[in-house]
Amino acid sequence: LKGVRHVNLSQNLLTRKGVEKLMEYGTPSSFISLNISSNRLQERGIVGTLDFVAACSHVQDLNLSGNALGDAVIERLCGLLSSHCLELKGLALAQCNIGSYARGGTALGGLVGAGRILSSLDLSWNTLHGEGAQSFIRGVYDNGIVSGGKLQRLDVAWNRMGSGSHSADETRRREALITARIWGEVFKHGNTLFHLDLSYNSFNVDECEAIAEGLQSNHTLFGIHLVGNEATVDDMGFVIPLRRTAARRDGSSHCPTDALNECLTASGDAEELAAVYRHDEEDMPPVGVDVDEGDTCQGALNSLLHSVPAKQRIDHAADFARAASLIAPGAAGPPPQALKINPSLRSLAEEHGTLMSFSEEDLITER
């Protein structure tokens, strides 16, 4: 192994015996990258594997994903990496059975918090949640704010940081909200993270709102993924929590963020849209009563009547304004600034009249 710099032994059914055999061919101190992902390395008999990793004193990229290591092994691994692999920049531990106990997340938080060189970390497809997840996120906070670290890319998709649903037990909801608020603090005060994947962590609306609040003052995070949580990311990069779906009389429901556009698409024109509004009157308060915009077709139109800024397709806006005038004659339509401007639809918008005529300044601002 002397002089070897890059080693890829992934998907080779490698066990602890195979790793121990490698040690007989010399010290792997020259390794810069080591990939032994998707093998058969397990918690049992892991000592030889950990010794092998610790001997890679100059390794910069280490991939152990797809091995059933568990929290106890991760705890020991983090200690070895902190003391032996001081040049480590990239670490992949996806699908390693991390998170059953808090000790795994706590150890990772310590590694990240003190690691000034580590720039990329993959912890996807684990079960980080509760106290373990919170300890880890605090390590991310320390990395970017306290220790002056360089962690830029972080993947924690497919974990269990959120509460899952509104039927979750009280303890899990409380822990999930704390977790979300710590993420919010990371976003609010940190300026190191460049790309973050939080997909499929089952954060509910309240938790996503805590995340979104922290992101409002963040100007350095370039990309964030939130699929699989009760929020979306709009085209301006802001996190938009999905409001709880309102049940219809027929048992169906509307996706709140699409309510405005769904109504028009289903009804076809302003007159039919107004009829849909009246059909929903038993479900929603009358016009003039404050409602949570976007919950149903009526709620969507109420928000329009009140000139509440709302996401909608700009080429539908004139039809919504027409429907609003049919529902409440004499009501003023929303000013252009209350609608989300999409420059690519400007030509369509202009066909609907002066209501949708935006200045060049508006378009430049939107871009």
pTM for the full model? 0.67
277/295 Cα distance (integer angstroms):
12
Tell me the sheet residues that pair with 126: none
Helix, strand or coil, per DSSP, at residue 358: coil
222/241 Cα distance (integer angstroms):
19
359/353 Cα distance (integer angstroms):
14
156/126 Cα distance (integer angstroms):
8
Q: What is the pLDDT of residue 336?
A: 44
79/76 Cα distance (integer angstroms):
5
How many helices (H) and strands (E) the chain has is answered by 13, 10
Q: What is the pLDDT of residue 264?
A: 46
Where do we find the tokens 């509307």? 254
204/179 Cα distance (integer angstroms):
12
Tens of each residue's pLDDT in the chain, 367 residues: 888 999 999 999 999 899 988 888 888 899 999 999 999 998 887 888 999 999 999 999 999 999 999 999 999 999 999 999 999 999 999 999 999 999 999 999 999 999 889 999 999 999 999 999 999 999 999 999 998 899 999 999 999 999 986 667 889 999 999 999 999 999 999 989 999 999 999 999 999 999 999 998 888 888 899 999 998 887 777 788 886 433 333 333 333 334 444 444 444 455 555 555 454 444 444 433 333 433 445 455 554 444 444 444 444 555 555 555 555 555 444 444 444 444 444 444 444 444 344 455 555 554 4
Note whether 297 and 254 are within 8 A (CB).
Answer: yes
Q: What is the pLDDT of residue 291?
A: 36
Q: What is the pLDDT of residue 164?
A: 81
pLDDT in tens, 304-318: 444 444 444 444 555
